[in-house]
């Protein structure tokens, strides 16, 4: 899908005096005039004056300028941009779920509480943890809750010398931010030549007795399974340190292996990545956490319990809890969507998610493995990391490949992350894409690799790309650091 290289005029630029989308009956105008003089505006608010048709066209045109998962493949590694099935939206828009007030007394909210309880049970079964809290609003908040609980565990035991957290160098930035926010010092851990953590390195780091825990992403952010996770967890427990697992990549393990069984003490789920609730834009999310028995007492309060008569209640009597971290027990409609997805697929369907995600990522790895440098030459999990090593010699870098992809109608993969791979191109096809879509993506990537070898390739294809979008190549650093979102009349 290529979008036209046109600039949409802003609504304020289309404004003409007297254009309006409604006409108020004179009775209403009379009512407006009854507003006391001191409360009335002294001047007009300067809103654009547009007809209804202009407004409809304006927003419809703007929406076509957006690339979205509904318009094409979105192979952003680590972000897991899956299709959000419409059945989830249908269930979440049931007025009985939609209109319930968050302060509804428990006796009138038993249906919603039973849904939350069932989701907790499903997540428990999928992950192997003792207990679940659905409170956190996003993956990053789930991480924060997890490390706060690890801190509460050590504080209760008087382990005041444990001031450091081990974090692999390939980790997502939120891991380090979380550890620091919880008062820990970050100790970066290098991966071995196979791209994973080695037990020996972990042992060396733990020798001084000041390690409170480790934050592991598994599969890690280069798409490789941490094969020594069981041994690493065992060693950490031997030195009274705990294991946090970043669950952002859980979509590679569903029904295949359970972090709780591997010795992990706490993990956040990204319901939006693994269980197809909507993504991004800062909207409501759910970063549920699962814990082992060690951390159960520290879970956020309240905890949802099922009583012997089958009814549900919120348990607030939890003296060792880290407290409440999200108002109204989290974002309920995200839970409705996630449970719909889990119930729709059932155990076999859930397992198939990960199998298909892994298969497609390996398809990409093999299909592009000659034209591009593959960071780690071995089977991957649900994502694969390539780099621009072979193209750089022709003057074509990762950023140029990504921008050229846009001109060929495809959203680029994640680039320059993880930081440990120079010029990284991180591709996650996800299981919701068909083989045909993934092959189409591969063909475009192969076309770009071939173009990069042509003489004068940079000037021909890459300089200034993307060229087919409303905004062409921008200075991304300036755009991120010097954000100006106000409009000024020229």
Please, what is the minimum distance in Å from the beta carbon of residue 350 to ligand PLP?
A: 20
Q: Is 278 in the site for ligand PLP (CB under 6 A)?
A: no
Strand order in the sheet with 424-427: 373-374, 384-387, 424-427, 414-415
Q: How many residues does the chain have?
A: 490
Residue 274 lies near ligand PLP (rule: CB under 6 A): no
Residue 291's φ and ψ, nearest 5 degrees, are -135, 155
Pick the closer one to ligand PLP by CB: 36 or 282: 282
Q: How far is CA 132 from CA 123, 145, 150, in A?
A: 7, 12, 15
Q: How many residues of this chain bind ligand PLP (CB under 6 A)?
A: 14
Q: Residue 413 half-sphere exposure, CB side, CA atoms within 13 Å? A: 29
> Taking CB under 6 A as the rule, does residue 408 contact ligand PLP?
no
Considering the complex, what minimum distance in angstroms separates the CB of residue 297 from ligand PLP? 25
Name which position in 287, 412, 423, 429 contacts ligand PLP (CB under 6 A).
287
**Residue span binding ligand PLP (CB under 6 A) among the ranges 113-121, 137-145, 208-216, 450-458:** 137-145
277 binds ligand PLP (CB under 6 A): no
Question: Minimum Å distance from CB 59 to ligand PLP?
Answer: 27
Which of positions 63-122 make contact with ligand PLP (CB under 6 A)? 78-79
CB 56, CB 71: distance < 8 Å? no
Minimum Å gap between C-beta 48 and ligand PLP is 34
Which residue has the CB atom at the shortest distance from ligand PLP?
A: 139
Residue with tokens 């609980």: 149
Contact 357, 430 (CB under 8 A): yes
Q: Which of 190, 269, 261, 188 is nearest to 230 (CA)?
A: 261
String of contacts with ligand PLP for each residue 196-225, x by CB under 6 A:
---------------------x---x----
Q: Does 285 bind ligand PLP (CB under 6 A)?
A: yes
Six-digit token pair at 121? 């049970």
How far is Cα 332 from Cα 6, in angstroms, rounded to an integer?
40
Question: What DSSP state is assigned to residue 376?
Answer: S
Closer to ligand PLP by CB, 170 or 391: give it.
Answer: 170
What token pair was written down for 93? 């828009």
Under the rule (CB under 6 A), what is the footprint of ligand PLP? 78-79, 138-140, 172, 174, 217, 221, 246, 248, 270, 285, 287
């Amino acid at each position: 899908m290529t979008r036209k290289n046109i600039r949409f005029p802003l609504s304020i630029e289309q404004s003409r005096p007297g254009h309006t989308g409604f006409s108020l009956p004179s009775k209403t105008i009379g009512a407006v005039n009854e507003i006391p003089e001191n409360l009335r505006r002294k001047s007009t608010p300067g809103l654009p004056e547009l007809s209804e048709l202009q407004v409809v066209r304006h927003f419809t045109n703007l929406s076509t300028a957006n690339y979205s998962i509904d318009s094409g493949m979105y192979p952003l590694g680590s972000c897991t941009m899956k299709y959000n099935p419409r059945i989830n939206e249908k269930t979440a828009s049931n007025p009985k779920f939609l209109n319930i007030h968050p302060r509804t007394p428990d006796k009138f909210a038993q249906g919603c509480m039973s849904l939350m309880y069932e989701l907790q049970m499903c997540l428990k079964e999928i992950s192997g943890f003792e207990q679940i809290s659905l409170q956190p609003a996003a993956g990053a908040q789930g991480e924060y809750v997890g490390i706060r609980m690890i801190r509460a565990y050590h504080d209760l035991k008087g382990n005041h010398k444990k001031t450091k957290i081990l974090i692999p160098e390939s980790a997502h930035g939120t891991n380090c931010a979380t550890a620091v926010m919880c008062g820990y010092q970050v100790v970066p851990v290098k991966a071995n030549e196979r791209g994973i953590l080695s037990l020996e390195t972990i042992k060396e780091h733990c020798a001084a007795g000041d390690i409170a825990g480790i934050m592991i992403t598994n599969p890690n952010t280069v798409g490789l399974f941490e094969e020594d996770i069981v041994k690493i967890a065992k060693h950490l427990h031997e030195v009274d340190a705990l294991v946090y697992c970043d669950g952002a990549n859980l979509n590679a393990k569903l029904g295949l292996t359970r972090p709780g069984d591997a010795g992990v003490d706490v993990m956040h789920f990204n319901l939006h990545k693994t269980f197809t609730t909507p993504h991004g834009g800062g909207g409501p999310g759910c970063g549920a956490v699962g814990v082992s028995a060690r951390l159960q007492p520290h879970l956020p309060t309240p905890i949802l319990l099922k009583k012997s008569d089958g009814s549900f209640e919120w348990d607030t009597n939890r003296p060792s809890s880290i407290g409440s971290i999200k108002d109204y027990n989290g974002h309920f409609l995200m839970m409705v969507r996630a449970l719909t997805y889990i119930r729709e697929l059932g155990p076999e369907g859930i397992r198939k998610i990960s199998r298909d995600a892994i298969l497609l990522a390996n398809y990409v790895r093999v299909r592009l493995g000659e034209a591009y440098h593959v960071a780690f030459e071995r089977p991957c999990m649900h994502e694969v990391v390539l780099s621009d090593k072979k193209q750089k010699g022709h003057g074509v870098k990762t950023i140029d490949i990504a921008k050229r992809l846009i001109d060929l109608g495809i959203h680029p993969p994640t680039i320059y992350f993880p930081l440990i791979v120079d010029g990284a191109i991180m591709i996650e096809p996800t299981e919701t894409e068909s083989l045909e879509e993934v092959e189409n993506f591969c063909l475009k990537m192969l076309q770009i690799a071939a173009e990069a070898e042509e003489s004068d390739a940079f000037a021909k294809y890459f300089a200034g790309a993307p060229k087919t979008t409303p905004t062409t190549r921008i200075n991304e650093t300036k755009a991120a650091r010097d954000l100006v979102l106000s409009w000024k009349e020229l």
